[in-house]
Amino acid sequence: MLTKTLVRVFDIPNLDAPPYYTPVESETPFPQVRLPSGHLAVHLTRYEDCRAFLADPTVSRTLCNVEGGPTFLPGTTQKELLLNLDNPAHARSRATVTRDFSPRGVENLRELVDRTARRGIADMVAGRSPPDVFEAVLQDVTSATVCHILGIPLSDRPMFRVWSRTIQEAPPHDLAGIEHAVKASFDYLMDFVRGTRAAEPTGFIRSYVDHRAKLEAPLSDEEFVGVLLGILLGGDHNALSVMTKSLYTLLSAPALWIRVVEEPERLPAMIEELIRVIPIGKLSAFPRMTTVPLVTSVGTIPPDTPVYANVFLANRDPEVFADPLTIDFDRTAGKPHLQFGFGIHSCMGPALARLEIAAVLRALAELVPNLKLSMEPGALRWINGTVLRRPDELPVSF
């Protein structure tokens, strides 16, 4: 186990994964990489370039999500998903979740998240569940919360979590399995929208459907399910991956965990630093296509060019974050990290993720302050999927 005070990213076993692209020699003024789909893409890595690119309304996600398009994925994904839409369609769909997923909107979930976390910890301490904080606590928090938000039954978790895990964690060669899981998830949510499955009247699904007729430009069933699928996947597995790797990092470097226990009032700043350095998966953003010439610090990118804005490396840009590979809980960077994206395709759930991570870490620090990994960090089992990558266990002693 690590005991030193100064902890660097590479001190945490397996935290970083090999790049999911191949750098290529290029005669252009800008660096290029080859994506898993075989396409060449301009590779942006500087913070300012990535931030500006992600905010640029002229670049397109829709043009990449086509058969034979530039992608990290084994095929296209549902066209109605928010991550695949350009404006004005994106703005129209995104508007349905803006209020509910704002910091104020998720505040009413705090009690549920805290109660779920503390119940899981109590069961683990009492021996009613295994001494594995991932199995006993973390995965219950994210899945129970997303069920509550959508208004879908907790009893459905064993069913839909198989599909959502396959979509985000399956190896890229399992195209048939991924396509089946996407269709099954889409059909499952559609049943709630059309009333063939009963959703809770207070949940997000019924709230929108019941008031849709009063809206000026309501979403179609397919468009709304595209939004719901993003909530189901991101609200469960994306949040779970960030939370799991945050706790894994803290327990792999006990000096960091001690800071959490001793300084709970500084937890929000600590969480931001963890999120900055922790890669969510093998890719940090989806490729986009330029539609007009685009000026960057490494040259002008012509139209119809795939671009990969590498948020992972942008968050480690030494021009913005001093000593960027050090996990510094006292960092006073003047600019925010880009882990949740920027611009129209920024993540819709950062407020919820922050709330969940803070609630879980605060409860663990209070109830089991002597928490330790019961295995060497490098020996833990990991999930290495196309989109998400995380430890699949966190066995502990306390």
Could you tell me the mean pLDDT of each successive run of 10 residues in the chain, 398 residues long? 71 92 89 95 97 96 96 88 93 91 93 98 97 97 96 94 83 79 94 96 95 90 95 89 97 96 95 93 91 95 97 96 95 88 90 96 98 97 88 97
* Cα(341)–Cα(169) distance, integer angstroms: 21
* Cα(87)–Cα(150) distance, integer angstroms: 25
- Provide the residue ranges of all domains of the chain, joining segments of one domain with +: 9-397
What is the predicted pLDDT for the residue at 272?
A: 96
* Cα(184)–Cα(163) distance, integer angstroms: 7
Query: What does residue 391 show for φ and ψ, rounded to 5 degrees?
Result: -65, 145
SS3 300: strand
DSSP for 198-236 reads PPPTTSHHHHHHHHGGGSSSPPPHHHHHHHHHHHHHIII
**0.75 exceeded by pTM:** yes
Run of H or E residues at 183:
helix 175-194
What is the predicted pLDDT for the residue at 294?
A: 96
What's the count of helices (H) and strands (E) in the chain, helices before strands?
Answer: 15, 11
Run of H or E residues at 142:
helix 139-150
Query: Within 13 Å, how many C-alpha atoms sit on residue 256's CB side?
Result: 27
User: What's the CATH architecture for 9-397?
Assistant: Orthogonal Bundle (1.10)
What is the predicted pLDDT for the residue at 5?
A: 66
* Cα(210)–Cα(258) distance, integer angstroms: 48
